[in-house]
Every structure is written in structure tokens, then in C-alpha cells.
Amino acid sequence: MSTGAATISKHQAPGFWKSTNGKKIVMAVTGCILFLFVVAHLLGNLLIYAGPARYNAYAAFLHFDGSLLWIIRSVLIVSVLLHIEAAAQLWLRNKRARPVGYARKNSDGASYASRTMYWSGPIVLAFIIFHLLEFTGGFIHPGSQFIAGNVYHNVVAGFSVWWIAAWYIFALCLLGMHLRHGLWSMLQSFGLPHSRTRELALKQLALWISIIIIGGYISIPISVLTGLIK
């Protein structure tokens, strides 16, 4: 091998996954998959306002094909794992790049959502696990009996317990902040902002999309607590 070829081989660009841009793209793509799931899940959950029969029919429809359901679950699980792994490695890379912290940390240019991105993510993950154990598996269902197949009953019974509703609302507020910054970061990774005006417009768009989505989710436990959904 010539000296020139050896030099090129030694200094060749890192692989896609090892590169910072590669990890950002993985976060953007997996984030997009998870965002679409959050939207679809919300639209389905809002059917609870149509009554028990409609809501239970929707829940039964989701389980009409077990193999397809597990394919979807597998895609979501892989997306979550890749999203977390890429985020953790980017955080560690940034930490190593600045081993000594700033004497005075100036975060005026960073939103609260971006500054809490790394710790809100694990809390949201814990919420998802708790949510599955409660409403899907029925392992956590205080104050009422879990009835398999009667999703309407399980949701209303679960949110009738104030601390479960409060935990759900708290976790969703964190998800909203995560979504806001995540949507903006995804748009950045795809190279959409090209001017200050467009950047501000996209930030506002990400904010309002997050508010609408989280507002829809939070409306369900609030409606149960206030007796609108019985």
C-alpha cells in the first residue's frame, strides 16, 4: 500500500453511525416514526368521547392481526432504542468535547425544552413503561378490577385515581417539551430553515403542534376526573 493510500485510509471519514451527523439523522428519522405514532395514538384515543362501544371496537381493531401488531411494535421498540442510544452518545460526545464546564453558563439562546431534553426523555420512557403495565397488561390497576378487552372501563377506572391522572398529565407535559424541541431539531436535521424568519416560524409551528397534541391527550384524564367521561 502506498504512503498516500495509507494516509487516506487512516484519515477517512467515520462511518455513518459513528459520525455526529449520522447520529443526528438517526434521531430525526426515529423521532419522525415515533411522532407519527403519537399522532395516530391520539386520534384513536379521542374515540373515547364517542362512548364505550366505539372505543372498545377501536381497541379490538388494533389486535385484529397479531403478526402485524408485533411488526409495528418491533419497529417502535427499535426506533425508541436507536433514538435513546443516539441521544446518549451525542450527549457523551458533547460532554467530552467540553470536559471543563463554563464558569458562567449562558443559556439565553436555548429554550427550556432543549435544556431538559436529556432528562425528560428517560422520564417519558418510564411513563410509557408504566402506561403499558397499567392499561395494556393490567399489572398496575389500583382501585378497580382490570377487565381484558374492555379498554373503556380500564381507562376510566385508571384515571379515576387522582395520582395516576396526575402522573399521566405530568409526563405528557414533559413529552410536550420533548416534542417541541424534537420537532424543531428534526426540521434542522433535514436542513429546512434557511433564514431567521423561517426559523422562528418553524419554532412556532413546532410549539403549536406540541400544544395541540398534548392538549388532546391531557383532555382525557381531566374529563374522567371531572365526570365528563364516566
Domain that holds residue 170: 16-94+112-225
Residue 76 lies in a domain: yes
Q: In angstroms, rounded to a whole number, what is the distance separating the alpha carbons of residues 169 and 65?
A: 31
Q: From residue 190, how far is each of 18, 26, 141 by CA, in Å?
A: 19, 11, 42
**Can you give the pLDDT at residue 118?**
59
**Amino acid, single-letter form, for residue 154:** N
Per-residue pLDDT reduced to its tens digit, 114-153: 555 556 667 777 777 777 777 777 777 776 788 888 889 9
Q: Whole-model pTM?
A: 0.77
Domain count, the chain: 1
Residue 205 lies in a domain: yes
193 Cβ contact list (under 8 Å, min separation 6): 187, 199, 202
**Amino acid, single-letter form, for residue 72:** I
Residues 4-8 have a mean pLDDT of 48
Residue 80 lies in a domain: yes
SS3 139: coil
Place of cell 368521547: 49
Residue 230 lies in a domain: no
Per-residue pLDDT reduced to its tens digit, 175-217: 888 888 878 777 766 666 567 777 788 888 888 999 999 999 9
Residue 78 lies in a domain: yes
Residue 81 lies in a domain: yes
Residue 202 lies in a domain: yes
Q: What is the DSSP letter of 50?
A: G
Residue 6 lies in a domain: no
